[in-house]
Amino acid sequence: MAPAEPAKRRRKDKAAWVMRSAAQQLELLLGRPPESVSALKPTDDGWEAHVEVVELERIPETTSVMASYRVTLDNEGDLVAYERIRRYTRGQIDRRL
């Protein structure tokens, strides 16, 4: 089973690299730093990530307006498309299951 471990590590390394790439490229387009990458999955053509961004800072922080963006990347990690899929306040609990 040892030969499978390097392949597993490469997938994890690739996923981490794609997450950083998605966040960095979206920041360049929006001019706002991302808070987090909340989802990442491989697709037939590359990757899809959901990136959380503060759109409007408020006091207290729990009332800041957040947005979730779907970021589509090709196999090389280049951003192909993005769209805002949700806006919410930071303190909002997602009740969808």
Strand-pairing partners, residue 51, are 37, 69
Q: How does residue 93 score in pLDDT terms, banded at 50, 70 and 90?
A: confident
Higher pLDDT, 60 or 3: 60
Flag whether pLDDT at 1 surpasses 60: no
Which residues partner with 69 through β-bridges?
51, 84
Output the CA angle 8-81-70, nearest 5 degrees: 65
**CA distances, 61 to each of 5, 56, 66, 84 (Å):** 42, 10, 10, 21
Tens-digit pLDDT profile for residues 37-60: 999 999 999 999 999 999 999 999
